[in-house]
């Protein structure tokens, strides 16, 4: 499960970079979707990677918070990658660091 989350998070970071190529009217919606889906990784980690005995859930308040924060950052920055890094619970590797492993981090931002 950890390896799959790492792989998916790498794909999220790559995919978010492509949001800027979408029509402007749908960029925020795509970004909010990416932030919400990525936050399930935080929930999965918080459950000790056990997705069978209890389905990971974000809850309405968490979702509303993420939507509001994404929209607020979007209005300021208008850059999908920058907003995703600011709002998402997915850790971002530092430049030039080849030994980065998101499994070593458990983001707890609200």
d(CA 73, CA 109): 15
Q: Is residue 105 part of a domain?
A: no
CA–chain centroid gap for 76, Å, is 19
Q: What is the pLDDT of residue 109?
A: 45
Q: Is residue 98 part of a domain?
A: no
Structural domain of 63: 2-92
Q: What is the pLDDT of residue 93?
A: 66
Residue 94 DSSP symbol: P
Burial of 34 (0-12, 13-18, 19+ CB in 10 A): buried
Tally of domains within the chain: 1
Is the whole model's pTM more than 0.85, yes or no?
A: no
The segments of the chain whose pLDDT lies below 50 read 96-100, 103-110
């Amino acid at each position: 499960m950890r390896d799959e989350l790492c792989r998916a998070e790498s794909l999220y970071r790559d995919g978010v970079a492509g949001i800027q190529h979408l029509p402007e009217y749908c960029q925020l919606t795509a970004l909010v979707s990416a932030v919400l889906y990525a936050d399930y990784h935080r929930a999965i980690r918080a459950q000790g990677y056990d997705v069978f005995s209890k389905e990971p859930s974000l809850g309405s308040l968490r979702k509303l918070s993420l939507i509001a924060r994404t929209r607020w950052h979007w209005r300021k920055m208008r850059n999908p990658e920058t907003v995703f890094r600011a709002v998402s619970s997915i850790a971002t590797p530092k430049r030039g660091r080849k030994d980065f492993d998101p499994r070593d981090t458990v983001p707890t931002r609200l």
